[in-house]
């Protein structure tokens, strides 16, 4: 099974970005997505941004993932 996570773009240098997922910072290739800017949300999979997300969709997905994590932690 594959998993991708919404990540917020912190910095961009060439075709690479630093992105944040839940406070953790990762490097992500931007080669597959056009028009990404600092502050945008992308779907991060295996070190690559594979899709640009609307902020509302990214935040809703992150909320649901946190809800699942909280339920499993009980």
Average pLDDT value over all residues in the chain: 95
Match domain 5-73 to its CATH number in 3.50.50.60, 2.30.30.140, 2.60.40.1180, 2.60.120.10: 2.30.30.140
Token pair belonging to 58: 């990214």
- Read off the pLDDT of residues 31-65 as tens digits, 9 standing for 90 and up: 999 999 999 999 999 999 999 999 999 999 999 99
CA separation for the pair 68, 21 (Å, rounded): 16
Question: What pLDDT is attached to residue 38?
Answer: 98
Name residues whose C-beta falls within 8 Å of residue 64's C-beta, 6 or more positions apart in sequence: none
The C-alpha angle with vertex 22 and arms to 74 and 19, in degrees rounded to 5, equals 160
pTM: 0.90
Q: Is the pLDDT of residue 17 over 80?
A: yes
């Amino acid at each position: 099974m594959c998993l991708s996570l919404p990540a917020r773009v912190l910095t961009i240098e060439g075709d690479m970005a630093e992105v944040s997922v839940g406070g953790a910072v990762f490097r992500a290739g931007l080669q597959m997505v056009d028009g990404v800017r600092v502050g945008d949300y992308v779907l991060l999979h295996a070190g690559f941004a594979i899709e640009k997300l609307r902020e509302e969709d990214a935040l809703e997905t992150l909320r649901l993932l946190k809800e699942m994590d909280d339920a499993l932690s009980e």
